[in-house]
Amino acid sequence: MSGPRLGVVVNPVAGIGGVVGLKGSDGARVQAQAHQRGAVHRSIDRTRRALSVLAAQAPTCHVVTVAGPMGEQAVPAGLSATVLGGTARRATTADDTRRACARLLDHGIDLLLFAGGDGTARDVLDVVGERCPVLGVPAGVKMHSAVFGTSPVTAGRTAAAYLVSGARLAPAEILDLDEAGVRAGVVRPRLYGALNVPVLPGVQGRKVGSSAAETADAAAIAAAVLDEMTDVEIAVLGPGTTVGAVAQRLGVTGTLTGVDAVDLGTGQLLVADAGEQELLAAVRRRRCRVLLSPLGGSGFLLGRGDQQVSAMLLREIGTDAVTVLATRSKLAALGGAPLWVDTGDAEVDSALSGMHRVLTGPGEYMIQPVLPADEAFAPQRA
Amino acid sequence: MITFPQRDGHARDFHQARWNEQLIFDLGSPGERGVVPPASEPAAAAAGEPVRRSLRNRRNAAPRLPQISQPQVLRHYLRLSQETLGADLNIDIGQGTCTMKYSPKVNDTFVRSPEVSAVHPLQPVDTLQGLLELIHRLERMIAEISGLHSVTLQPGAGSAAIYANVSMVRKYHAVRGESHRDEVITTGFSHPSNAATAKTAGYKIITLQGGPDGYPTVEALRAAVSNRTAALMITNPEDIGVFNPHIAEFVRIVHEAGGLCVYDQANANGILGITRAAEVGFDICHFNLHKTFSTPHACGGPAAGACAVTEELAPYLPSPVIVRADDGRFDLDHDRPLSIGKVRPFYGVTANLVRAYAWISSLGAEGLRQVAETAVLNNNYLLKKITEIDGVTAPYAEGHHRIEQVRYSLADLHEETGVSSGDFGVRLGDFGLHYWTSHHPYSVPEPATIEPTESYSRAELDEYVAAMRTVAEEARTDPEKVLSAPHRGPIHRSGQDAMDDPETWAVTYRAYRHKYLGEQPPEVPRWIPPAGLPAKQRPPRAAHR
């Protein structure tokens, strides 16, 4: 067994709620409901499609997977496979996914191909982190994370290209929505962390541009925004990789999913992964600027995963101290849709609303509308 | 009544030549020559020697040019030409935004005539009256077509014309003491050269994104304008073929803020003879003669651009301008203190000015309008046919007609089959057809931009659609065939990574020898400024990617 080793994990219930209009598949009750509505397990088929492409393009590749619907059933004839333990149940849980990932990692794999949606990506993130490169076969309902191939076929093709020729790795944001909220007409996406994905043409956030160009663009944005903040003492850095590039340029270790404050005078990180009170203490009576970037796909700017940047904080430093950063491809992917804010304070939301200049590069801006989220996601308009 | 046969187009059974031709540097042998000139007479050589020695910049060694004889050169380039899909060879409607139209061959005969080919730009103007008259007449034609007052034909390309435009904007504000205006507004679907040239000229770029109809809202524009606004630089119809009906209001808002309005009419193919830059109050516009007025694209040049301006901005045009004296003679006016100066030596790309003049003259006003009407009709015929292909849509302004081009989306086909628009285009090459996606980043997912112009017959449009339909079917039944294309082209698939990564590029043979063969490039002698030369003040270095 000398070829490259591909770990395969399928979430058999992924996507089951989507086709029957349940907006997701999290939880046993929703899955049972989906079965009642006649849903089928499509993630196994989609994985098989990806692996068939892989078999043709990387025939020496060896699959490492678990038994039953979580992997073995999706391996097409012609691919050699090692099957570790597993479950015969189709109604698998998040724990099953995590356990399977841990088994494959222990066995040793060069790339993990998982099939599912954002929920599955989160489970993979919990276990895999930075231990192994990851690629997703798009099979879920919600797929805002930047870890998926653009289709099952491209996922297979990309996995083959990576295993045969290798590629640079780049962190991809893992986002998820609260499904109960979506069903009630409220979108609450959150950034959970990042997985390493191969930088190849077929991989991208399903709604965001290529990760290679994104990294370069984010670095240019970071340089530009620091040039513009000559009279600012404290920079509050929101979540995400775009704002993360600012921390990187400043040479401090920021928190990808949290909010940090940096003293630009000394270049010191004041507080990392700060809560509202810590931020309030850091910014008091200082000239401040808050750097935010919208969540890819949904366009949420405030109120989803960054509640620390609270209405009280924004009242303290002024809503005009907010600078929005985004790569051009991230904005382009919104297709003209607005950015959303939801601080829980109607007055602050309204002050933040209107047309904003989003910094997209050195001396480059895009005009982007910002709206209070409750205006947009009212259930009757869903 | 004439009836036309109803025919379905067929994808062609095509195969392109594959020559595996080496680089010309790898052909030939040392000492091989195309022409061996006779040796100089000893007396002549002796007479020349002092001059030769007096040359300060004489090279020490001969340049490393290819050494190859005539027949091999001819075969080399003929082979390469068989490995391309140019506008004279394929149904070149897949290069949207580029306005690939027929360049009538008869116009080349005028360019080859001695009145054009045998004159020298340094001749006294008294001996160039015919050529000056032709350029002057072409200027007046462009003025009429745009509705504006004065025209220059000096720029050597479309983007050079836009750069001339933004230079005039900069000078105009500087003369009025308004150099604080440091922002240029453009739109996401305007041709990217607008943002690029303005950035090069030192401006900040504010981009308005298209709304649901494809063009930006008036509110977005209002949020962008201020006393920092130098200009609005906009394409209309935009690169997705949608015309912004609020353009007059856009111009008014920018004028009220003190900015100038610059119309990118590189491609005016959908509106020739129908509307003009002047009708909505634009101050400046430009045309690419190779887009709108049929001169050849020539693989990236030489092209020619025309800039047209209002009477108020005429003093800022590049120098010199051609003037006509009372006695009817033409002269060059260099005495223009407000001019932005030269944008290209001498008269511009004269050969293309002659071709454009011939093309416009052969059509007349009615003919120009017919060009636009035919181009728009062809485009809407294609819109209907192409959106009938399963998996292909035309986002934005749904249900409406388009002007001269459409940016389609293959997102549905991609989702279903894994075949991206880029893959699709490569496979279309197997049917002898060229196909382009769009500028980056993609605002339309999996885009394809098709622009048929007036130069293609219905049978040709049908053939193109048939080939697209064939590839779309293959994507469903045999995606591997599409993904591994080209199968009948001159090369196998090239890696996109190599195209995107500057580390792999070698744009000259010297760079190739350095990067790939490991040769050290020769030390280039550096220019040393004479003592006492004042150092030029330069702006701080900009942040680059």
Q: Is B493 on the interface with A (CB under 8 A)?
A: no
Calpha distance B184→B173 (Å, rounded): 12
B328 exposed, middle or buried (CB, 10 Å; 0-12, 13-18, 19+)? exposed
- Residue B220 and residue A367: Cβ atoms within 8 Å? yes
Q: Helix, strand or coil for residue B467? A: helix
pLDDT number for residue A210? 43
pLDDT number for residue A25? 59
Mean pLDDT, rounded, for B212-235: 94
Answer for the pair A338, A372: CB distance below 8 angstroms, yes or no: no
pLDDT band of A305, cuts 50, 70, 90: low
Pairing of strands A288-292, A322-325: parallel
Amino acid at B496: Q
The chain A residues in contact with chain B (CB within 8 A) are 53, 56, 150-154, 156-157, 167, 200-202, 209, 212-213, 216-217, 219-220, 223-224, 227, 327-329, 331-333, 335-336, 354-357, 360-369
What token pair was written down for B276? 């003009």
Q: Is residue A4's pLDDT more than 90?
A: yes
pLDDT number for residue A102? 94
Range of weakest confidence among A233-242, A335-344, B79-88:
A335-344
Q: Which of A56, A150, A369 sits opposite B414 (nearest CB)?
A: A150
Tens of pLDDT, residue by residue over B171-188, are: 999 999 999 999 999 998
Q: Using alpha carbons, select from B385, B360, B364 the residue that is nearest to residue B456.
A: B385
Write the CATH number for B351: 3.40.640.10
pLDDT number for residue A241? 85
Calpha distance B126→B220 (Å, rounded): 54
| B500 chain-A contacts, CB cut-off 8 A | 212-213
User: Which of the listed ranges A144-158, B351-365, B398-412 does the model predict with the highest average pLDDT?
Assistant: B351-365
Output the CA–CA distances (angstroms, integers) from residue A209 to A212, A253, A328, B406, in the order listed: 9, 25, 9, 22
Q: Is residue A186's pLDDT more than 60?
A: no
Mean pLDDT, rounded, for B433-437: 95
| A48 chain-B contacts, CB cut-off 8 A | none
Output the CA–CA distances (angstroms, integers) from residue B156 to B166, B286, B288, B368, in the order listed: 15, 12, 10, 23
| B542 chain-A contacts, CB cut-off 8 A | 362-363
pLDDT number for residue A146? 80
Q: Using alpha carbons, select from B165, B129, B128 the residue that is nearest to residue B150.
A: B165
- Residue A355 and residue B223: Cβ atoms within 8 Å? yes
Q: Is residue A21's pLDDT more than 70?
A: no
Element of type H or E holding A370: strand A364-372
pLDDT number for residue B545? 37
Amino acid at A349: D
Q: What is the DSSP letter of A210?
A: B
- Residue A331 and residue B219: Cβ atoms within 8 Å? no
Calpha distance A252→A235 (Å, rounded): 12
* pTM listed for this prediction: 0.79
Calpha distance B179→B143 (Å, rounded): 29
What token pair was written down for B69? 């004889």
| CA count, 13 A, side-chain hemisphere, B495 | 10
Interface-testing mutation among B497, B499, B544, with chain A (most A C-beta atoms within 10 A):
B497
Calpha distance B523→B529 (Å, rounded): 18
pLDDT number for residue B209? 87
Scanning every residue of chain B, which has its alpha carbon at the shortest distance from the alpha carbon of A335? B443
- Residue A369 and residue B220: Cβ atoms within 8 Å? yes
Calpha distance A153→B447 (Å, rounded): 19
Answer for the pair B83, B17: CB distance below 8 angstroms, yes or no: yes
Q: Is B224 on the interface with A (CB under 8 A)?
A: yes
DSSP symbols for B117-168: HT--TTS-GGG-HHHHHHHHHHHHHHHHHHT-SEEE---SSHHHHHHHHHHH
Å between B171 CA and nearest CA of chain A: 20
Q: Is residue B274 part of a domain?
A: yes
- Residue B211 and residue A336: Cβ atoms within 8 Å? yes
Per the listing, tokens 């400043």 go with A250
Answer for the pair A127, A105: CB distance below 8 angstroms, yes or no: yes
pLDDT band of A38, cuts 50, 70, 90: low
Q: Is residue B206 part of a domain?
A: yes
Scanning every residue of chain A, which has its alpha carbon at the shortest distance from the alpha carbon of B545? A220
What token pair was written down for A273? 């992964």
Q: Which of A154, A167, A209 sits opposite B441 (nearest CB)?
A: A209
Three-state helix/strand/coil letters over A231-269: CCCEEEECCCHHHHHHHHHHCCCCCCCCCEEEECCCCEE
Q: Is residue B27 part of a domain?
A: no
Q: Which CATH number fits domain A5-198: 3.30.160, 3.40.50, 2.60.40, 3.30.1360?
A: 3.40.50
Mean pLDDT, rounded, for A309-323: 92
Å between B376 CA and nearest CA of chain A: 26
- Residue A363 and residue B204: Cβ atoms within 8 Å? yes
pLDDT number for residue B544? 44
Q: Which of B220, B441, B480 sits opposite A332 (nearest CB)?
A: B441
Sign of the CA dihedral B120, B122, B124, B130? Answer: positive
Q: Is residue B513 part of a domain?
A: no
What token pair was written down for B195? 């943002």
pLDDT number for residue A209? 38
- Residue A56 and residue B414: Cβ atoms within 8 Å? no
pLDDT band of A260, cuts 50, 70, 90: very high
Domain tally, chain B:
1
Q: Helix, strand or coil for residue B205? A: strand
- Residue A53 and residue B500: Cβ atoms within 8 Å? no
Q: Is B479 on the interface with A (CB under 8 A)?
A: yes
Residue-range definition of the domain harbouring residue B241: 110-360
pLDDT band of B307, cuts 50, 70, 90: very high
Calpha distance A122→A124 (Å, rounded): 5
Q: Which of A150, A167, A366 sits opposite B209 (nearest CB)?
A: A366
Q: Is residue B245's pLDDT more than 80?
A: yes
Q: Using alpha carbons, select from A362, A294, A301 the residue that is nearest to residue A330.
A: A294
- Residue B443 and residue A335: Cβ atoms within 8 Å? yes
Sign of the CA dihedral A210, A215, A218, A223? Answer: negative
Counted across chains A and B, CB pairs separated by less than 8 A come out at: 108
Q: Is residue B493 part of a domain?
A: no
Range of weakest confidence among A46-50, A102-106, B333-337:
A46-50
Per the listing, tokens 């010199």 go with B320
Mean pLDDT, rounded, for A111-133: 93
Return the ∠ at Cα B184 (arms to B226 and A219), rounded to 5°.
110
